[in-house]
Chain A
Amino acid sequence: MMRITQKTRTRVMDFTIYTLLSILGVAWVLPIAYLLYTAFRVTPSTGIINTLIPEDLELGIGNFVRLFRDTDFAVWLKNTLIVSFSSCAITTAFVLMVSYAISRLRFRFRKSVINILLVLGMFPGFMSMIAVYFILKAMGLTNSLLALILVYSGSAALSYYICKGFFDTIPRAMEEAAILEGASQPIVFLRVILPLAKPIIVYTILTSFISPWCDFIFVNTIISERDKYTVSLGLYKLINTEKSGFNENFTVFCAGASIVGAIIVTLFMSLQSYYVEGITGGAVKG
């Protein structure tokens, strides 16, 4: 008797959970489905769907054709790739260097370095944006992709924390053994510790590669020439005109957004396990 009620209870519970998960899953997928659907839609003038089940189910790649023909999307895509590859390389190197130094090396001003980084990280980035713009201008760099690369990677040291958390977990014995065998510090760093830190390196690469695809505030400040836009700013400008509401670019926006989305999703999914290890390992270490 006992056993049966227990079983029914479990079944009811499972059923509830499946229902809830399905409802929530739909809620999470629906907007994305809407994005994709709009992107592939053969556009009427406004690009609005009026009914749940649209009258015309015609699909096509017209929006993508318009995206590449009528806008500078191809150029934006190229710009973003240049910026994200370069800034990703610099950022990753910087983050690894700083977090390695703070985690594994003991030097006199280590505590002060930690505190300086902590304090600097507290200021909202927007506050310094205008000053950054003028510094770049003084260097003659505004409206160039180099400026973007410098801005995205210049303050990389501030995001050392998660990576340091990971380095902290690597046993000291590893480098002690190497040093006993006569390895120099750079060798320990490059040959002993880095190979052990693969998950966190992938995590750092992933996050720093993605950030230029998402930022539009700094680009908006630094870049004013249309052919230097990155995809995010380009797409943002496409639909963010002064008047609110829809405009005919919405379907084209969706086409561009789904391309960007597809790129990032692919990257993300292929490296998801590293990402999870990164945020759980580094961020929440007791």
Chain B
Amino acid sequence: MQAKVCAENPIKKLINVFKDGSWQTRLSFFLPGAGLLLRKQFLKGALYALLTIAFIAYMLSSGGKFLAHLFSGDLGTVISGEVWNEELQIFEKVRGDNSFLILLYGVVTIVVVIVYAWLWTTNVLTSAKNDEILKSGGQVSSFRQDLGIFLNKKFHIPLLFPPFLGLIVFTVMPLIFMVLIAFTNYDYQHMPPGKLFDWVGFENFRALFSLSGGSSSFAIVFLRVLLWTFVWAFFATFSNYFLGMLIALMINRRGIKLKKLWRTLFVIAIAIPQFVTLLLMQKILDTDGILNKLLGTNILWLTDQRNFSILPRIMIILVNVWIGVPYTLLMCSGILMNIPSDYFEAARIDGASPIKIFFKITLPYTLHVTTPYLITQFVGNINNFNVIWLLTKGGPVDNIYYGGGTQAQSTDLLVTWLYRLTTDVNPKYNVASVIGIVIFVICSFMSIITYNRSASARNEEEFQ
């Protein structure tokens, strides 16, 4: 968004504008809006001038202070004496701090500076454009004309502006902030306001990836969690996919009656919110739950930690089948109906058996069409917080394989581990941020591959 000047070297371009520009344009470099006011674009010029005043006021009053802190390399040295007597919930422990707010408002200030820099550049460039128009004997545009462009040639700007504003506030700024946290020692031992935290460079990354520290070191535990995350994502994705397709095939088979009823039976499961069905499943599988009562057993379905907690792991995948198959079913029935029927007729005339038809036509066709969906599902499962958290909360606790200090548990995925690290009574925000970055790297790697390979990205205009 802040581009416009990025096409060529922006600095060079600005220097050229300054060299070749009229005196009005040159004035705009120092007094934003002045060039426009002098050309009688009063509203526009005043707008730039006002924004400049607001920006300077903000920087003088508070922004500058935060930036100075941020760039001087310390995140505050004075320990705040504020004590909050409210009944504290887990997240509120970080209240009334110093380093935290310095970092947070520092990020806000950086965003403000970037936005202002962009505004300033447009001010100069608009003035330069006026120069050109006047040189060729034209008239500078009126405010009404300027607005009209937004409903015409630049219609994308009003369309994109509000959504992107939301993104900047609720996604971009928090993300920059959390990425920065990965380079600090912000954990329960450095919890403002009692104790401040500070930059530590790549220390957290080294701690997470170095093998020193024995078998319960962060690195080993990290690898175990990562391995399970992938095993889970693999089984969760493909079990759903193939079972869903199988059921879709059965329902869609010629001669099967009550198709709609069968489909509805399964689809109800989608319609009920996941937290309801998952909590219900958790209660059903509880040690005192109905399943054990019916079987007359005492099996720890979700908490048995023998054999690397194999039983809870299997149960999670099974419950996920219950949750996820209906989605695949819905999608596959749509696709199956769309397979050109001449394929089947040709195969039948050639005397191919149903099994052969499935493996030679149905499966390749569906796989081809749904590869992007499969990979999105896989990425989605890597981040599948709900299923794990509502069923086992990541448990059972297994301190032999997951060192106590790492706070990881047997069925933890990277996301649930991240969540626990930030909500535990002894939070480790720094490690959580590093894990978040790792998740980001994994997911973006996979998604970029899919995105570039999927036909919808390559031929996006083929239908138009």
Report the minimum CB–CB distance from A190 to chain B (whole Å): 11
The total of chain A residues at the interface (CB under 8 A) is 106
The answer, yes or no, to whether B370 is at the interface (CB within 8 Å) is yes
- Interface class of chain B by DSSP: helix
Which of B10-18, B126-134, B147-155 touches A? B147-155
The answer, yes or no, to whether A172 is at the interface (CB within 8 Å) is yes
The answer, yes or no, to whether B8 is at the interface (CB within 8 Å) is no
Residues A138 and B154 in contact, CB atoms below 8 Å apart: no
The answer, yes or no, to whether A81 is at the interface (CB within 8 Å) is no
**Residues from chain B with Cβ under 8 Å of A235 in the complex:** 275-276, 279
Residues A21 and B251 in contact, CB atoms below 8 Å apart: yes
Residues B293 and A50 in contact, CB atoms below 8 Å apart: yes
How many chain B residues sit at the interface, stated as a range, is 35 or more
CA distance A240 to B283 in the complex (A): 11
One digit per residue, 1 when the CB lies within 8 angstroms of any chain B CB and 0 when it does not, for chain A 150-177 equals: 1101111110000001001111100000
**Residues from chain B with Cβ under 8 Å of A59 in the complex:** none
The answer, yes or no, to whether A194 is at the interface (CB within 8 Å) is no
The answer, yes or no, to whether A195 is at the interface (CB within 8 Å) is no
User: Beyond A120-B172, A123-B440, A168-B463, is A34–B250 a contact (Cβ under 8 Å)?
Assistant: no
Residues A156 and B247 in contact, CB atoms below 8 Å apart: no
The answer, yes or no, to whether A216 is at the interface (CB within 8 Å) is yes
Contact of B273 among A126, A151, A210, A279 (CB under 8 A): A210
The answer, yes or no, to whether B305 is at the interface (CB within 8 Å) is no
Residues B169 and A135 in contact, CB atoms below 8 Å apart: yes
Residues B464 and A168 in contact, CB atoms below 8 Å apart: yes
How many interface contacts (CB-CB < 8 Å) are there between A and B? 289
Residues B94 and A130 in contact, CB atoms below 8 Å apart: yes
Residues A157 and B151 in contact, CB atoms below 8 Å apart: no
Contact of A172 among B272, B280, B293, B464 (CB under 8 A): B464
Contact of B331 among A35, A127, A240, A280 (CB under 8 A): A280
Residues B370 and A284 in contact, CB atoms below 8 Å apart: yes
**Residues from chain A with Cβ under 8 Å of B247 in the complex:** 21, 24
User: Beyond A257-B276, A280-B334, is A101–B159 a contact (Cβ under 8 Å)?
Assistant: yes
User: Beyond A14-B255, A268-B270, is A123–B415 a contact (Cβ under 8 Å)?
Assistant: no
Which of A63-71, A197-205, A244-252 touches B? A244-252
**Residues from chain B with Cβ under 8 Å of A153 in the complex:** 166
Which of B26-34, B51-59, B202-210, B429-437 touches A? B429-437
The answer, yes or no, to whether B233 is at the interface (CB within 8 Å) is no
**Residues from chain B with Cβ under 8 Å of A18 in the complex:** 256
- Interface class of chain A by DSSP: helix
One digit per residue, 1 when the CB lies within 8 angstroms of any chain A CB and 0 when it does not, for chain B 158-171 equals: 01101110110111
Which of B38-46, B193-201, B443-451 touches A? B443-451
CA distance A184 to B155 in the complex (A): 10
**Residues from chain A with Cβ under 8 Å of B175 in the complex:** 120, 123, 127-128, 131
CA distance A25 to B159 in the complex (A): 45
The answer, yes or no, to whether B357 is at the interface (CB within 8 Å) is no
Residues A122 and B444 in contact, CB atoms below 8 Å apart: yes
The answer, yes or no, to whether B347 is at the interface (CB within 8 Å) is no
Residues B167 and A154 in contact, CB atoms below 8 Å apart: yes
User: In residues 252-286 of chain A, which contact B (Cβ within 8 Å)?
Assistant: 253-254, 257, 260-261, 264-265, 267-269, 272, 275-277, 279-280, 283-286
Residues B177 and A239 in contact, CB atoms below 8 Å apart: no
Residues A126 and B271 in contact, CB atoms below 8 Å apart: no
Which of B66-74, B261-269, B307-315 touches A? B261-269
Residues B272 and A131 in contact, CB atoms below 8 Å apart: no
CA distance A150 to B284 in the complex (A): 36
**Residues from chain A with Cβ under 8 Å of B275 in the complex:** 214, 216, 232, 235-236
**Residues from chain B with Cβ under 8 Å of A217 in the complex:** 385, 419
**Residues from chain A with Cβ under 8 Å of B284 in the complex:** 31, 34
Which of B115-123, B214-222, B453-461 touches A? B453-461
Report the minimum CB–CB distance from A206 to chain B (whole Å): 10
**Residues from chain B with Cβ under 8 Å of A35 in the complex:** 276, 280
Contact of A52 among B155, B294, B432 (CB under 8 A): B294
User: Beyond A153-B166, A286-B454, is A126–B156 a contact (Cβ under 8 Å)?
Assistant: no
Residues A283 and B373 in contact, CB atoms below 8 Å apart: yes
Residues A221 and B91 in contact, CB atoms below 8 Å apart: yes
Residues B272 and A32 in contact, CB atoms below 8 Å apart: yes
Residues A284 and B335 in contact, CB atoms below 8 Å apart: yes
User: Beyond A126-B385, A154-B166, A264-B273, is A135–B173 a contact (Cβ under 8 Å)?
Assistant: yes
Report the minimum CB–CB distance from A262 to chain B (whole Å): 9
CA distance A217 to B331 in the complex (A): 28
**Residues from chain B with Cβ under 8 Å of A272 in the complex:** 267
A to B CB contacts below 8 Å, 12 in the list: A21-B251, A21-B262, A28-B265, A32-B268, A109-B3, A112-B3, A123-B175, A133-B91, A158-B167, A236-B275, A283-B372, A284-B373
Known pairs A224-B92, A239-B279, A269-B264; list 16 more (Cβ under 8 Å).
Answer: A21-B251, A32-B272, A48-B290, A51-B294, A127-B178, A131-B177, A132-B170, A133-B91, A135-B170, A155-B171, A170-B463, A185-B155, A245-B287, A264-B271, A265-B272, A280-B334
